[in-house]
Structures are given as structure tokens and as C-alpha cells.
Amino acid sequence: MDLSRNNFSSQIPNFLEKLSLKNLNLSFNDFQGEVPTKGVFANASSISVVDNIRICGGISELMLPSWLTKKEKKTKWSLTLTIVISVACVLLVVATMSFFLFYWRKNIRKDESSRSTLRKSLLKVSYQMLLKAIDGFSLTNLIGAGSFGSVYKGILGEDGSIVAVKVLNLQRQGALRSFISEFDALKNIRHRNLVKIKTSCSSVDFQGNDFKALVYEFMPNGSLEKWLHMDLETNTEQAEIQNLNLLQRTNIAIDVAYALDYLHHHCQVPVVHCDLKPSNILFDYDMTAYVGDFGLAKLLSELTIPKQSSSIGIRGTIGYTPPEYSLGSEVSTKGDVYSYGILLLEMITGKRPTDHMFEGGFSLHHYASMALPNCVMEIADSKLLNNVDEVIDNHNFSPTNRKEECLISMVKVGVACSVDLPQERWDISKAISELHLVRDILLGSRSKCNLFDYMEGP
């Protein structure tokens, strides 16, 4: 029987194996499925199934693909699916690891580049060089002292640049950690209102003792502490010169606020200063304010690390430390805002938060809050009102009303930033906006400053 070339499809009929046939030609059709194995199909020389590409099974001499049962098909499909899924998972894992490896290496290169740039920009100094720069720790060069060290004025390098050298007292508990914290906080940040670190020195002295120091750009006009609280009796002549009026104090408040805003919102890793106070606010030749002393600073990324015992204890200075820190709360940007609020109220009233009048739960915050809005002029530092009348008169304002309006606004900012509950404190960016309005009133201008004009570098 010759059934070739008839375009037959479907399965080969089983009844054909029951027919008494000597030869059966099923070639060049489109049969599919299993080939029978009995009757004429049992003799390979009697059967021709050429060019039926979808058939299988049959006797072994036909050399056709083996026939799979449904169970075998299911098993084969499951095996194939398992292999496909496994390969896909492996490829996904490899792709994910490659992705993270790429960005990790990219960040490593970026950090290395940053550190390389930093190393190139920093002077290389030794103990001997610093000893010569500050004239052997001469008391005449001593310009300040803090919890963990002393600050000296010095002349460094061939160009004779004037620097401030902070020498750590490593005998004090926490001094080494302070050195590390300050360098880590300052090494990758750049802002016009942050004291610039020039280099550091980690060496040994001539007796073999460890020596560590930080070298900063020198601030010739001292600290806000000295400008606010100059001893009038012993420095009468200097005090007459060293006076900050309302406009100057407003500019200082804005400078400090910009520094905090940068630290909190515009650094790659947010930084909490933890020790904002007048002695850490320094002035250059133009009386631009700079925030310095990052010895207690905290990178917020460190807060994800399990707590370890700290040799520093409560972060900050009495009077400026937010109340939640004494209760064991983690440091936060809201803590800096509290310190800023107290600092601003101190600039307005001329009173330290540790003044003897603030006892028994009565604080600088409450003192200023009670004066709002009608008694602000009574609590204001008399020195800050100098020359303001002239400034306002030049812009055809009513001096008394404008002066009082500005003071009320500034006290409101200080009070809003220094409330006890962290969640109720203003964000520092809101304080900046309000203080700009005050300065606009003092200058008769409504121009606004671009926040990013105050940033330098990456």
C-alpha cells in the first residue's frame, strides 16, 4: 500500500497494523505521534515513513525519537522548567551582584578620588613644624582652650600663612574620639560658613608621647562669645569698639543658620554638630560667621550602628544641650535647632542660658517667650540697638516701630527653635526664611538670597 505524498496528517491509524501488508509507504506526509509496532510496522524493510518529521516511537530500527508518556512529558517539562528557572535565577543574581559591585567600586573610586584630592590639598606637617609654628606652645600664642585641647595661633609654611592649631590633650578621656570625629566630619564638607580644616598631624613628640593636632584657617576676629560678653570694666575702650548692632547680629544668625542647613540637608551624609554655642562661632576679617569645633559632631549614618558606650557622654554644653539628650534620646538635627534657638536668644538678650537668674525650671527660652510680643524691647541687649536708627532712617522707616518689629520676629524664631519637644521645633530652613525678612526690613530690600550661593565645592 502506497499512501505517500497525500498530505495526510494526524496520528497513523492503528488499524493499518492489522492489515496483511507486505509493504507500506507513508512517506512525505505530515503524520504525527507514535508509530505502531505490530503487523507490517514490525519489519523496518517493509515500512517507509520518510519525511514525517513529527512522528516518534516505532521499532528501534526506524531510529525515530522515543515516545514519551504523559508522565514522562510532564517530568521532562518540569525538568526543563526547573533548568530554565535556575538559569534565570543565576543570571539575575549575577546581574544584581554585578550592579552592586559596579556602584560599590564607583563609590570606592569616588571616595579614593575625594581622599586623594583632600590629601593633595592638605599640607604635610610634622610635630616639629607645628612646634615651630606656635613658638613652642607659647602662652602668648594661646587663643583659646576647650574640653579636649588648646588652640594656638601660628605661622605655618614657607608662605607664612597664619593658622589656628588645635592641640589635643590626649590625657583627657574622649580627646582621641573627638579628634577622629572632627576630622571625619570636616574632611568631605565645604561651605562658606564652616571653618576650613587645612591639615592634621598625628605623630609623637620628642619624649615619644602621642601627639595629635588639627590645623584650621585662622579667624582673626575671634568668637561670638567674646563679642557678646566682653568684660566692660576691664576692657572699656575695646568694648566700645567691639559691639554688634542688630543688623550685624541678624547677619550672624543667618550665616550660622546656613551652615546648619547645609550640614543637615545638603551633605552626602547628614551631620549633627552637637555643640553649637557662641565660643564655636568665629569671625573672619569681614565679620562673616563660621561654625567651628566639630569635636562632638555625629554623622547620622552612624546611628544605624548598635549603640556602644561613649567616652564623651551627653553631647553638648550645659544650657545649649536639648532636654531630650539628658533623657537618653539619640542625637538629631532637631537637637542642633534647639542649640541654635538658645544661641539666637542669647544674641538678642545678651544673657547666657546659664545666667544665675535662670534657676528652678526658669530658662532663657521662658524668659524670651514671656516677653512676646509687648516686652521684647525690655529684654533686648542695649548694645545691639546701636546704629540701627541710622540704618532704618536712611530707608524712610519709623525707627522705633521697625526696630521693635525686627526684634519681635527674631525672638519668635529663637523661641520656636528652642521649644522642649523636638517635633514642635522649626526646621532650620524656616528660620532662614524668617531671618531674611528681618534683614529685608533693616535694609529696606525684599531681595532674596539663593541658598546654594552659600555652598562651596562638592
Q: What percent of the chain has pLDDT over 70?
A: 81
Those residues whose C-beta lies under 8 Å from the C-beta of residue 127, and which sit 6 or more positions away, are 201, 203, 204, 205, 206, 211
Q: What was the pLDDT predicted at 353?
A: 94
The three grid cell numbers given for residue 442, joined into one nine-digit string: 533693616
How is the beta sheet containing 142-145 ordered, strand by strand?
142-145, 149-156, 161-168, 210-217, 197-204
> pLDDT band at 419, cuts 50/70/90?
very high
Peptide bond into 36 cis (omega under 30): no
Query: What is the distance between the alpha carbons of residues 25 and 49, in angstroms, rounded to a whole number?
Result: 7
Q: What was the pLDDT predicted at 444?
A: 74
CATH topology for 221-454 is Transferase(Phosphotransferase); domain 1 (1.10.510)
State pLDDT tens for residues 372-415: 988 999 999 888 766 555 555 454 444 557 788 899 999 999 99
Query: For the chain, what is the mean pLDDT?
Result: 81
Mean pLDDT of 93-107: 80
Give which of 140, 441, 425, 191 is closest to 294, Cα–Cα.
191
State pLDDT tens for residues 427-452: 999 999 999 999 988 887 544 444 44
Are 350 and 384 spatial neighbours (Cβ–Cβ below 8 Å)?
Answer: yes
Catalytic (active-site) positions: 275
Domain ranges for the chain, please list them. Answer: 9-62, 221-454
Q: How far is CA 34 from the centre of its chain?
A: 70
State pLDDT tens for residues 178-232: 888 787 777 778 899 999 888 888 888 888 888 888 888 999 999 999 999 875 4
Q: Is the pTM of this model over 0.75?
A: no
The three grid cell numbers given for residue 379, joined into one nine-digit string: 529684654
State pLDDT tens for residues 293-307: 888 888 887 554 444
